[in-house]
Amino acid sequence: MPIYEYRCLDCGKVSDHLVFNRDSFVPFCKHCGSKNMEKLISRVRVRLSLDSRLEKMADPSLFGSFDEEDPKSLKRMMDKFGAEFGDELGDDFDELIEGVEEEIESDTKSNTQETKDAD
């Protein structure tokens, strides 16, 4: 996930930005609007290492037939992530799990109502 953090040289606050194209992206301060920003790299490294660990865990051989379109399969995988990363992911991850559980419920309901649109 290309998240970069920048510290504002005017107000000193940190803004994080999801950057898909670093060549054209101009960081700005979300607090005061300044473009006088200094890139921070420390936390990005932590995120990258976490991402690479998640990628390793997402190896299909670990999960059998993992199907990212299937909420039940996703939930199963996220339960394993939670066991491994619970402390690092914290509340955000708990909310993510709850969201997936809701998705499973609504998915189950819609499956009983809809029999077409399988695309």
Tokens for 109?
């309901």
Note whether 78 binds Zn ion by CB under 5 A: no
Tell me which stretch binds Zn ion (CB under 5 A): 23-31, 43-51, 68-76, 97-105. 23-31
Which one among 32, 35, 70, 108 touches Zn ion, defined by CB under 5 A? Answer: 32
CB of 112 to Zn ion, least distance (A): 52
Note whether 29 binds Zn ion by CB under 5 A: yes
Residue 8: exposure state from Cβ atoms within 10 A (0-12, 13-18, ≥19): buried
Residues that bind Zn ion (CB under 5 A): 8, 10-11, 29, 31-32, 34
